[in-house]
Structure 1
Amino acid sequence: MFLRVTSLALAGLLAVSGPSAAAPLVTPMQQAVAQAASADETIAAFYRGRDFAPVWMGEGAGDRRAAFLWALDQAEDHGLPAGRYDAATIRAEFAAATDPAARGALEVAMTERFLRYAQDVSSGVVDPRQVDPTIVLNVPKRDWLVQMTRFVEGDPYAFVQGLWPASPNYTRLLREKLRLEEMELTGGWGATVSGELVARGSDGRAVVDLRNRLVRMGYLRRSAVSAYDAGMEAAVRAFQIDHGLTPDGEAGEATLAAINVSLEDRKGQILVGLERQRWMNKPLEPRHILVNLAEQHAYVYDDGKVTFDTVVVVGADTPDRRTPEFSHTMTHMVINPYWHVPRSITVNEYLPALRRGGAQHLEIYSRSGRVNRSNINFSNYTARNFPFSLKQPPGPRNALGRVKFMFPNQWNIYLHDTPSRNLFSRDQRTFSHGCVRVGKPLELAYHLLAPQTATPESDFATKLRSGRETRVNLQDPIGVHLVYWSAWVTPTGRANYRGDPYGRDIKVLRALQDAGVELDASRS
């Protein structure tokens, strides 16, 4: 169908101007471009808008071509599948294309490659929802017809660099990738460390291997000291901080496991981290909350700076409890919340207890309202036909604690307090049914209310003492981003790594490799 339209358009362009005109107004190059572009409507519309004039060859095309090839030469540095675009092949194709048909086909092929590269570097190589159904991020998309026009009309080098994520997180990950590659070229991190505990009083091969590995990783100055001294203890403590471990200065089982992670695996985490930053390549709200599920930590950002942070507990590593990744908007908080028990928890966990006469802390409701449990024979019901819902009233034992922070979403995920405080001291905190339990819930509430009241603590306390469920709207809604970043670099240059509690990173890495990203790409 489009080919017919293109042919009609060309026929119109071929119309001569005046009875004596003999030369067509459409050149063989324009005709070749129109034919080659007909397979893709976006590309066809772009070329129709410029009467099928070329972008990549002819007068004024040199800077565009040079800027694109310059970007492709760095594609591997960005963790992109360089083979998709293949700068060397492009250069050879330009040398070989001499007739109009070949040049027209190459012109359109260049635009296709450019749009593929632009999509990859600005929004990600793979679709996160295809990798894992719990990664439900809305990846930013661009209007490529508009973008191609801007590329042609503007500074091509500035445009290409503007495709890269502007986040400092992305730039710092690029530097860490380069650092790891340079370390790999000089021999890597050395031998792994054996044993179960290396600490004060240890000696022998394990201490030497630990010292050498800490030196290569940048945590310890090179020396001939073979004892586990104060300097090594300080280095281990710094390593533990950067890897989310209890900083006790002793290389125990968990610390040695992290120290022995291969350099190649850390490179894989960086590649995944770069892709995840591309998925988030969009302006974030001046004030927003970022919950890092891999780190089990939450942050409040104001104008790009962290103004509050807290440890959190996130969903357990089971298919029905893993906390999804998504972005939403927090609109309000609820003080003294009722807990509306989710259906899955009601029938799978509480129905057996109700049959035994337990779960006395819960209220039971039908569609008509609250019902008396003494009038119900729970043994008559199964998980499939149980007709009631359960609620837990406000109080010291309420599963949501004293406050919950709401950003209504289809997964029924929110942040909340909890009466169970013991889990916050763990190194890995994946224990909830899916929601995010906050380590410092009252402090978070005060922080979020501070812009709209001069007395956030006393205002909150008054509502809390009432014992009644109370909704407090946020005058300025706050963006909430649940992400899964197992690798990042701090503004001071300290690389941080965490585990992969849900196994999502390995899925992303495999998808990237399937798309052509090379983990062991050689560098000249």
Structure 2
Amino acid sequence: MVQLLFTPSRLIPASLALASLMAVPQTWASSLWVNEQNMLRPVALEAARRLANAGNDGLNPGHYGGAQLLQTVQASQGRPLDPASASTLDAQLTEKVELYLHHLRNGRVDPRQIREHYDANKTDWKAFDAPTALREALGMGNLASAFDAATPRVPMYDELRKALERERQLAGDPAWTGSLPALPKGGKLGNGQAWSGLAMLTQRLVAMGDLPAGTAAPTTYNSTLQDGVKAFQQRYGLPENGVLNKATLDKLNESPKQRADRIALAMERLRWTPLLQGHRTIVVNVPEFRLRAYDNAGGQPEPKVSMRVIVGKALDTRTPMFDEDMRYIEFSPYWNVPPSIARSETIPKIRRDPGYMARNGFEIVGQGGLQGVLNGTARIRQKPGPSNALGDIKFVFPNNQNIYLHHTSSPGLFKRTKRDFSHGCIRVEEPVQLAKFVLQDDPAWTEDRIRKAMGAGKATTVRLKEPLPVVITYMTTVISNGQLLFFPDLYGHDRKLADLLAQGKTTRVPPKSATPLQKNSSAASAPSLQ
């Protein structure tokens, strides 16, 4: 199952750090990495190596002077430095390690730059202080604990880290020495057809795990290769038909480096998306067209509900990314047509067809008729019933963009692979299962009662006993049941994020480093010698 949520904190207990710090002699000087003889401590090499290997976490080692600092530290081992060089190197290493820790935990880009708006008070953005974490770790004599504390506490993060390493190892695989050749005339490869790319196709599917190791290349496109292509299509969010067409071929021609870059973007997103909130959480992953509901009460997120969803049209009515608390459910809801939809769609239909309103259950509330709707003195709403655009249930998490979860009167669209059909709201495939999850703390709301309320034809509002966090996120790369899955960059958010990172526009600026320590300063502020 996909694990998007956080695990318990890995921060060092403050009491233990303080106890360790108090044991340090008060005569110790201000440097973190250089001792009183102006010699680098062994921990400096550990820090420099971590910066040089920042790419393992999808970060750019160049942002932290990784290779250069490692070379300098290695060359400076075992010999005293002149005071100026020692001071400069110590300051550089401190600055870069703090920046690295900050980026590792909180990310490099403010998500608002790509129109993703998450409540900073619900993320680790303010909770994690890199300078303090570094000094606590050094005080414990365990620098690795600072890196551990900074690593995003999301189960899927570690899996993506391993996937990133595997893709980088595939970069030199002979299966990607060139591109797969063009498809036969007709633009697709079907059962029993010959094709010059069969050997390379087999190699790639084996390397990616879509075919068993040792699978031999056939002379024609047979059932074995079709099964491998189906597995690949499933991992890429393509129709799983085993037909090798242009869309599938284009994805098969993606290089390991391109996949590694996509994984790194997913790791970046996990740093600033507030996935852990409350005892239970609902997460909608827009590019995957899927909703998952998690129970976090046991300390580990456990997926309880998973279903397909329909999201906003990529062309003009995109679903926004944000988080908010669900506060109530509406059974057999009215649909208050948003003014923009009323102006552009509903009113023109009514004017062309006078019977349109009655047939579809619309009514005008307020003064002035249709002109009042245009002037803002009235609104159009659709009565509860089988034709209601919201279906028979609406899950409300109040927000200034008027986005909510709801059922639909057109369930057939859930069978589509690409499901961006809405005006921005999110249509859910299995509303009863979602309602049972949302109302599970209220035993009075049985499945039978939920179904009756949905079909009553009379609007009923049920307020939740406790707010339930809803997170709308944008992950084009996830790991589910051990499989690496990729989804289209539906709204182009990944492209924008990649551009910002390529330009070096890392706007997540860390807090200033702690004031340099002086001799005879408080021992509780100084790390222990190593």
TM-score range, shorter chain: 0.7 to 0.9
Q: Which moved more, 1:81-90 or 1:330-339?
A: 81-90
Cα RMSD of the aligned pairs, angstroms, is 2.9
The equivalent of 2:306 in structure 1 is 309
- Measured against aligned partners, the alpha-carbon deviations of 1:97-148 in whole angstroms (never above 9, x if no partner) come to 9444443344333322222111111111222212x12454645312345434
Where in structure 1 are there 5+ consecutive unaligned residues? Answer: 1-48, 518-524
- Matched-pair contact (CA < 8 Å) for 1:176–1:495: yes
Residue 479 of structure 1: CA displacement?
2.1
The equivalent of 1:472 in structure 2 is 462
Matches within 5 A, 1:245-324: 245-280=238-273, 283-303=276-296, 304-319=301-316, 321-324=317-320
Go from structure 1 to structure 2 and tell me whether the alpha carbon gap of 1:104 and 1:50 turns closer, same or farther (over 3 Å shift): farther
Go from structure 1 to structure 2 and tell me whether the alpha carbon gap of 1:330 and 1:386 turns closer, same or farther (over 3 Å shift): closer
* TM-score, reference length from structure 1: 0.79
The equivalent of 2:21 in structure 1 is none
- Matched-pair contact (CA < 8 Å) for 1:97–1:106: no
The equivalent of 1:140 in structure 2 is 124
1:73 and 1:90 mapped to 2: Cα distance?
8
Go from structure 1 to structure 2 and tell me whether the alpha carbon gap of 1:460 and 1:506 turns closer, same or farther (over 3 Å shift): same
The equivalent of 2:180 in structure 1 is 192
Residue 231 of structure 1: CA displacement?
1.5
Residue 351 of structure 1: CA displacement?
3.0
1:301 and 1:85 mapped to 2: Cα distance?
36
- Matched-pair contact (CA < 8 Å) for 2:32–2:90: yes
Question: How much identity, in percent, do the aligned residues show?
Answer: 30
Go from structure 1 to structure 2 and tell me whether the alpha carbon gap of 1:191 and 1:107 turns closer, same or farther (over 3 Å shift): closer
- Matched-pair contact (CA < 8 Å) for 2:372–2:379: no
1:449 and 1:328 mapped to 2: Cα distance?
17
SS at match of 1:298: strand
Residue 340 of structure 1: CA displacement?
1.6
- Matched-pair contact (CA < 8 Å) for 2:118–2:274: no
State the AA in 1 paired with 2:55.
E
1:88 and 1:206 mapped to 2: Cα distance?
40
State the AA in 2 paired with 1:166.
R
Go from structure 1 to structure 2 and tell me whether the alpha carbon gap of 1:101 and 1:218 turns closer, same or farther (over 3 Å shift): same
> Given the alignment of the two structures, is residue 365 of structure 1 paired with residue 365 of structure 2, yes or no?
yes
- Measured against aligned partners, the alpha-carbon deviations of 1:264-315 in whole angstroms (never above 9, x if no partner) come to 3222211211111122376444421111101111111224222211110001
> Given the alignment of the two structures, is residue 515 of structure 1 paired with residue 504 of structure 2, yes or no?
yes
Go from structure 1 to structure 2 and tell me whether the alpha carbon gap of 1:50 and 1:248 turns closer, same or farther (over 3 Å shift): farther
- Structure 2 counterpart of 1:127, from 110, 116, 128: 110
- Structure 1 counterpart of 2:62, from 74, 79, 83: 83
State the AA in 1 paired with 2:190.
A
The equivalent of 1:230 in structure 2 is 223
Matches within 5 A, 1:415-430: 415-430=405-420
- Matched-pair contact (CA < 8 Å) for 1:193–1:260: no
The count of residues paired between Structure 1 and Structure 2 equals 456
2:396 and 2:223 mapped to 1: Cα distance?
47
Go from structure 1 to structure 2 and tell me whether the alpha carbon gap of 1:134 and 1:344 turns closer, same or farther (over 3 Å shift): farther
The equivalent of 1:210 in structure 2 is 201
Go from structure 1 to structure 2 and tell me whether the alpha carbon gap of 1:281 and 1:112 turns closer, same or farther (over 3 Å shift): farther
1:282 and 1:248 mapped to 2: Cα distance?
34
Matches within 5 A, 1:480-499: 480-492=470-482, 494-499=483-488
Residue 208 of structure 1: CA displacement?
4.1
Matches within 5 A, 1:18-167: 53-58=30-35, 62=41, 64-91=43-70, 95=76, 98-130=81-113, 132-136=114-118, 138=120, 140-141=124-125, 142-144=128-130, 146-154=132-140, 155-167=142-154
Go from structure 1 to structure 2 and tell me whether the alpha carbon gap of 1:389 and 1:381 turns closer, same or farther (over 3 Å shift): closer
The equivalent of 2:338 in structure 1 is 342
2:405 and 2:40 mapped to 1: Cα distance?
53
1:136 and 1:438 mapped to 2: Cα distance?
22
1:177 and 1:289 mapped to 2: Cα distance?
27
1:188 and 1:129 mapped to 2: Cα distance?
39
1:257 and 1:73 mapped to 2: Cα distance?
34
Where in structure 2 are there 5+ consecutive unaligned residues? Answer: 1-25, 507-530
State the AA in 2 paired with 1:353.
K
1:398 and 1:515 mapped to 2: Cα distance?
48
More contact order relative to length (CA 8 Å, sep ≥ 6): 2
2:253 and 2:50 mapped to 1: Cα distance?
35
State the AA in 2 paired with 1:122.
R
Q: Which moved more, 1:250-259 or 1:324-333?
A: 250-259
Go from structure 1 to structure 2 and tell me whether the alpha carbon gap of 1:269 and 1:50 turns closer, same or farther (over 3 Å shift): farther
1:205 and 1:364 mapped to 2: Cα distance?
64
Residue 394 of structure 1: CA displacement?
1.1
Residue 388 of structure 1: CA displacement?
1.9
Residue 335 of structure 1: CA displacement?
0.6
- Matched-pair contact (CA < 8 Å) for 2:115–2:321: no
- Matched-pair contact (CA < 8 Å) for 1:193–1:209: no
Go from structure 1 to structure 2 and tell me whether the alpha carbon gap of 1:255 and 1:88 turns closer, same or farther (over 3 Å shift): closer
Q: Which moved more, 1:172-181 or 1:98-107?
A: 98-107
Q: Which moved more, 1:291-300 or 1:246-255?
A: 246-255
* TM-score, reference length from structure 2: 0.78
